[in-house]
A and B are shown apart, each in its own frame.
Chain A
Amino acid sequence: MEEKKSSQISERRRFLIQMAQNVAIAGVGGLLWSAYVDEAKAAPLILRPPGARREDEFISLCIKCGLCVEACPYDTLLLAKPGDNLPTGTPYFIPRDIPCYMCEDIPCVPPCPTGALNEDSVMSIKDGEKVFDITKMRMGVAIVDMKSCIAYWGIQCDACYRACPILDKAIYLEYRKNERTGKHAFLLPVVDPDHCTGCGLCEHACVTEKAAIRVLPREVALGEVGKHYVKGWDKSDEARLKGSAGIETTTTERSKKSAIESLNEGIDFE
């Protein structure tokens, strides 16, 4: 009897069903797990340490060891904790609390064991030798809120401008006449994203209750023109057109003559 009972289900079926069960359980777990991870790794507004690669590359490379955090002499860098709503264990900084002081020897980048912080991106060649150049880092870009910046009210404040380590390049002051009083000038801080490193010293220095100048990740704050706009007045930019297809002057039946001739053709003006 015993034998007959067990033979009702073949070994093959037993194996298949149990395997399917295992795979299904793994699938359920995997889906839940991946849903969580996908949410947990998304942090579009996070500011990464100097030399950090693009966020998607960074998040795959960072091993969460905190060596960059330990190397930072100003305690600027933090490791995200559970509850910070940031990818746990990855380094970031809050410029309003402690900005990056742009150490010339960049102690935070070389300890990175995986290359999530890319040394080459913060180096330039000087006298044929590679040397650290902190001005090359691009952690973010400062954005001014015109409405809450008191300089735009006409009050003289150049706190951010003075705080900027690349003053007159990354932040410069634009002068404009104050039409309201008729005899004063606006001294308006303007950020040049080509030079701004995103160190956040300006945000740290800003005098308003909530900073009127704030650092945002470059992918969030900056636009992109696209390839098809060319600065015709800029020789090096126009060189991009060289050799590209479709820019030779083509001649069709109509364009043989000048435009006006073509437009006026066939009209009897008499």
Chain B
Amino acid sequence: MSSLIYKHRFLILRRISQITILLLYIGANLWGWKILQGNLSSSSLFETVPLADPYALLQIFSTGAIVAMDVLVGAVIVTIFYMVFGGRAFCSYVCPVNMVTDLANWIRRRYQFDKAEKKWWASRNIRYWVMGLSFILSFALGTAAFEIVSPVSMTHRGLVFGMGFGWAAIVTIFLFDLFVLKNGWCGHICPLGGFYSLIGRFSLFRVKHNQPNCTLCMKCKDVCPEKEVLFMIGKRSMSVNMGECTLCGRCVEVCDDDALNFSIRDFVKKGEDYEVEQS
């Protein structure tokens, strides 16, 4: 049992983090808790600290609107936080859609979809195109274009303020990830994840690969939702520096050989040093 917990320690931490944040928001709306009010688009912490989604704010800027101070401060706080602690930590520790797509992924692995399914190929850069498009459309239509269709905000807002037909968005993403494209939403399309990838490009916390310990079992690549970030597995010792890494820690958990661990990004060492280390 304890080994089971140990093997899922980050997953458990993430679920606790996701659900706690969700509960605080729900409590604020239903029972008037004054801890975390609003939703992931913009909120206020202890009725004093504003927090805001910087991507939503950029879309609002694109419409040409001039915003009040609160949301600016909030977006700066959030941006700095994820710049330091890892951009896509938002995806794996906060975003409620992550639980849906993780479930789809789990079912995929459990029933070995990979072996039987029809495979589609899609670029993981779609999200950056969607992001660029969202700014253009916000400008053209005078409203934050992704916010009005975002299944992420729809899900979160639905859980806090009432779902309506919002469940349809959740089901769509679930089915899409399960049957159409592996890691389809979070790993290919979601521009919010793309945005946080960019923010977290130089963040402090990173997963680090220790090549000499690696036995090439590839369990890490199996569970990784963004497996292109693990290109160095079995090849070089280095930290996983790509912004697309969500810091979910699944690779660290499944590794039986202590070849992957969380650590601080090494800013000094560059690629060539690793080559030397290896030889």
Contact = CB atoms under 8 A, between A and B. Distances in A.
Interface of A: 22, 25-26, 29-30, 33-34, 36-38, 40-41, 56-57, 59-61, 63-67, 69-70, 79, 81-84, 87-89, 111-115
Nearest to B53: A63
Contacts of A40: 148-149
A60 B63 contact: yes
10 contacts: A30-B133, A37-B145, A60-B142, A63-B60, A65-B39, A67-B38, A70-B29, A82-B169, A87-B148, A112-B68
B164 A59 contact: no
B37 A67 contact: yes
Interface residues of B, number: 52
A67 B166 contact: no
Interface string B31-53: 00000011101111000001011
B37 to A, nearest CB: 6
Interface stretch (B87-95, B153-161, B204-212): B153-161
Nearest to B142: A60
Nearest to A60: B63
Contact of A65 (B38, B67, B143, B169): B38
Contact of B165 (A34, A56, A83, A115): A83
**Which 6 A-B pairs give the minimum distances between C-beta atoms?**
A81-B164, A115-B68, A83-B165, A65-B42, A60-B63, A113-B70
A66 B39 contact: yes
B143 A59 contact: yes
Contact of B141 (A29, A37, A57, A66): A37
A81 B38 contact: no
Contacts, number: 143
Nearest to A25: B129
B21 interface: no
B55 to A, nearest CB: 11
B80 to A, nearest CB: 17
B68 A82 contact: no
Contact of B143 (A37, A82, A84): A37
Interface string B131-154: 011001100111111011100011
Given A26-B133, A63-B57, A111 B161 contact: no
Contacts of B84: none
Interface of B: 28-29, 37-39, 41-44, 50, 52-53, 56-57, 60, 63-68, 70-71, 74, 129-130, 132-133, 136-137, 140-145, 147-149, 153-154, 157-158, 160-166, 168-169
Contacts of A41: 141-143, 148
A244 to B, nearest CB: 32
Contacts of B63: 60
A147 to B, nearest CB: 35
A115 to B, nearest CB: 3
Q: Which of A60, A81, A84, A87 has the most CB of B within 10 A?
A: A60
Contacts of B168: 82
A51 to B, nearest CB: 12
B44 A57 contact: no
